Structure 1
Amino acid sequence: MEYRTGSVGRVIAARFDHGEDFLAELRKIILTEKIESGWFQIIGAFAQAGVVTGPKEPVVPPDPVWRQVDAVCEVVGSGSVHLDNGEPKIHLHAALGDHGETLTACIRRNTKVYLTLELLLFELNGLGASRPWDEQGGFSKLRFK
């Protein structure tokens, strides 16, 4: 285990509207506001999302199981963002609900908002954190300077 202490900086509240690509718009906020590290919560709905539901086998590096969700689903999730060479690396896990059925997954791409989605982003200062690619692990791993 490795950890650092820091402090909460700015708090950003945002609304995303019907048809917007949530991940693309979140990246814009992070870059515009120069967020180096942060933690966020989301609540709302997706009409579409490309997700990973786990590895095919419990091996390192993992071979991800991809799933494309093309149905309206309620969403509640929690994630983090840390930069890697100035590029936001977003790690978001969420529960997606569709008519009583729930899928929990890592949200990765093609995130189209249905109606509205709300975000609360907490800037984290003083962590010296980044999320570079880890060749051995096969994923972007949280690191501290």
Structure 2
Amino acid sequence: MEYSTGIMGRVFIVKFEHEEDVLLKIEELAKKEHIKFATIVLLGALQSADIVSGPIAPVIPPEPHWKTITGVSETVGFGNIILRTDGSIKSHIHVNFGNKNEVLTGCLRKNGKVFITIEAVITEIITKVNRRIDPVTGIETLKF
């Protein structure tokens, strides 16, 4: 186990608008506000999204199981926004989708298109943690 400490920074209350791509807008906000590390909580609805709902098989490196969500789903999510070692922004957000009697959980990876609105609270944490590719697993992990 590795860990780091940090202190609370700014708190952003965000409203994402109908048909915006929530991931692109998170990245835009993080760049504009120079956010290096933050947690994010999302609440609202998405009308489409591409997610990863686990690996295809339990092997390392994992091959992601992609799923496209279509149709409006009530959505809650939690994740983080972290600066990569190359200076770009990476959000890692796990989201639950609910539509009528169907529920699905996955990692929101692309095309998170908002239906009416998504509300978010983004809490900045001042720390020296960032992301890098782990050479063993091939996935982005925390770098302390």
Cross-structure match for 2:104 = 103
Counterpart in 2 of 1:55? Answer: 55
RMSD of aligned C-alpha atoms? 0.7
Find the aligned partners of 1:47 and 1:30 in 2 and give their Cα distance.
23
Name the aligned partner's letter for residue 135 of structure 1.
P
TM value normalised by structure 2: 0.97
**One-letter identity of the residue aligned with 1:63:** E
Q: CA deviation at 1:20?
A: 0.4
Q: Following TM superposition, by how much is the alpha carbon of 1:83 offset from its aligned partner in structure 2, in angstroms?
A: 0.7
Q: Which residue of 2 aligns with 1:115?
A: 116
Detail structure 1 runs of 4+ shifted over 2 Å in the superposition: none
Partner-residue secondary structure (3-state), 1:91: strand
User: 1:134 Cα deviation (Å)?
Assistant: 1.8
Q: Secondary structure at the match of 1:61?
A: coil
1:99, 1:138 → 2: CA distance? 36
Q: Please report how far the alpha carbon of residue 8 of structure 1 lies from its aligned counterpart in structure 2 after TM superposition.
A: 0.7
Residue correspondence of structure 1 range 5-44 to structure 2 within 5 A: 5-44=5-44
Q: Which moved more, 1:135-144 or 1:48-57?
A: 135-144
Segments of structure 2 that go 5 or more residues without pairing to the other structure are: none
**2:136 matches 1:136:** yes
- CA shift for structure 1 position 135: 2.9
1:31-72 Cα offsets, whole Å, 9 max, x none, are 000000000100000000000000011111101000011111
1:100 CA displacement: 2.4
CA distance in 2, matches of 1:57, 1:105: 16
In the TM superposition, residue 14 of structure 1 has moved relative to its aligned partner by 0.5
Amino-acid identity (%): 38
**Aligned counterparts, 1:73-92, within 5 A:** 73-84=73-84, 85-92=86-93
Cα deviation, residue 86, structure 1: 1.4
Q: Distance in 1 between matches of 2:21 and 2:114?
A: 6
Indicate the SS of the match to 1:27. Answer: helix
Q: Equivalent residue of 1:128, what SS?
A: coil
